[in-house]
Amino acid sequence: MTIDTGAVLILVAAVAGAALGPLLRAQILHFAVPSEESWRRDCPRCGATLLPNTWRALPSTGRCPRCRQRIGPVPGLVEAATAATLALLAWRVSAPLPFAALCWAAVFGVVLAFVDVVVHRLPDRLTLPAAGGTAVLLGLSAALEGEPGRYGVALASGLGLAAFYLVLALIAPAGMGLGDVKLALCVGLAAGWFGWPVTVMAAMAGFLLAGLYAVVLLVTGKVGRKDHIPHGPFMLLGALVAIVLAA
């Protein structure tokens, strides 16, 4: 019997992603609060202190361990999203350090996407470490492999995509925020590691997916023309699609 190491790695990544779910659920509950409120540590239903420190885990059932009421995302959804994302990255990216950098970005990305859907914000406490960790891990890879040019493209791509979103945020502050600008740093770095065209493709895929989603919501009458659709999840999804296609 032969064992396909690639398939084993994909499976390990999927299991690790699912296992991270309860930890990420705690982060989502912690950060999914309106900007005028302080980070949440209590159950929004019964007030029980669930997160005395931020590294607690919350059950995958999506229910409060004390009052059993639904809190946070739908059962299994965070686990499925993280497992699928890490498995896709393991399938397409074999170099260890770039894979670690993308996993770092992906784990923060899952939390950010859920937080953005709930409260329409992308906290600095998540976007900045996401970009920082990705930059460090890719930089380490570039230094060890002697690829300074590739790292330069990734850095320029992160800054370039952030500048692009900054222009959008200045032109249309209702549609795009500074959270999107800071998220673009991480997204541009990750996509730019695979070259400029991948960054362009990532951004275009993000807008395309957001547009399709908006059309579906409008057609089904779920939203009106004035409703705001968070762009963060689509920016992240667009980058994942572009990286999976191009890596």
Q: Does 70 bind Zn ion (CB under 5 A)?
A: no
Give whichever of 45 and 120 is closer to Zn ion, judged by the CB atom: 45
Residues 14-43 that bind Zn ion (CB under 5 A): 43
49 binds Zn ion (CB under 5 A): no
What six digits make up the tokens of 61? 């059932």
Q: How many CA atoms lie within 13 A of 204 on its CB side?
A: 8
67 touches Zn ion (CB under 5 A): yes
138 Cβ contact partners less than 8 Å away, ≥ 6 residues apart = 97, 98, 101, 151, 154, 189, 190, 193
Rounded Cα distance, 101 and 112, in Å: 16
CB nearer to Zn ion: pick between 73 and 177: 73
64 contributes a contact to Zn ion by CB under 5 A: yes
Sequence-distant (≥ 6) Cβ neighbours of residue 68 within 8 angstroms:
none
Interacting residue with Zn ion among 7, 8, 46, 170 (CB under 5 A): 46
CB of 69 vs Zn ion, minimal distance in Å: 5
- Distance from C-alpha of 83 to C-alpha of 91, rounded to nearest angstrom: 12
Distance CA 16, CA 36 (A): 34
Is residue 216 part of the contact set for Zn ion (CB under 5 A)? no
Angle between helices 124-145 and 96-119 (to 10 degrees): 170
Nearer Cβ to Zn ion (46/204) = 46
Task: Please work out the total of residues on this chain that contact Zn ion, with binding judged by CB under 5 A.
Answer: 7
* Site membership for Zn ion, residue 120 (CB under 5 A): no
The distance of closest approach from Cβ of residue 142 to Zn ion in the complex, given in angstroms and rounded to an integer, is 46
| Residue found by looking up tokens 């202190």 in the block | 49
CB of 42 to Zn ion, least distance (A): 8
For residue 45, the minimal CB distance to Zn ion (Å) is 4
Residues that bind Zn ion (CB under 5 A): 43, 45-46, 48, 64, 66-67
